[in-house]
Amino acid sequence: MRKAEELRYLALAIQRDSSRAFAAMLRPLGVTPSQSEVIRILGDFGPLTLTALGRLHISESGDKPSRLVDRLSERGFIRRETDPEDRRSSVISLTARGALLENQIHAVERRLDASIAALTEDEQLETILDVLRPLAGALPAGQKLARRLGDERCVRRDQTRSSAAATSAPDGLAEPEFGLALLPRA
């Protein structure tokens, strides 16, 4: 097996098993991993436009953020209000019920993260992250994660980003102009 192929399969195995575990842990809360990601993004970044939410959402479910927002709004977890700066647009935020759910989701994430961290030493984990960050930064989903984390370590050394992209709020982030040409843009 080629090394790149092995890396691809290792990443897939880790992703599948951790995603299954996360979905099972979320089931009692009545939300999917994609829905929980929307809730957590809104909890971390406050009110956002749908466009800004889409630039930060990396879920693989295939659900578009607008569908997720509709479902979560129907359940009373988020609200849509007219954007005071652009009346054609909506601003999405957590309701009080959504904020409670966000705390529960965060607790589930901490339990899952602790179980993953228990599988390796801190130094090993840091080394793994140092290797994976630039690789992920070359990919559309990794770029979304880098925007969420505000993390320049996710950008390969030969790539540049504008200072606005590195320091602005999610609505002000510039779209990165790099990525693997063979992969679809998110």
Q: What pLDDT, on the 0 to 100 scale, is given for residue 147? A: 85
The token duo for 61 is: 């479910």
Over its length of 186 residues, how does the chain's per-residue pLDDT go in tens digits? 899 999 999 999 999 999 999 999 999 999 999 999 999 999 999 899 988 998 888 876 666 788 999 999 999 999 999 888 888 888 999 999 999 999 999 999 999 999 999 999 989 999 999 999 888 888 888 888 888 888 655 544 334 333 333 334 444 444 433 333 334 444
Residues 6 or more apart in contact with residue 173 via CB below 8 angstroms = 55, 147, 164, 165
The token duo for 103 is: 């705390």
Residues 6 or more apart in contact with residue 166 via CB below 8 angstroms = 150, 152
- Bridge partner residues of 48 (DSSP): 92
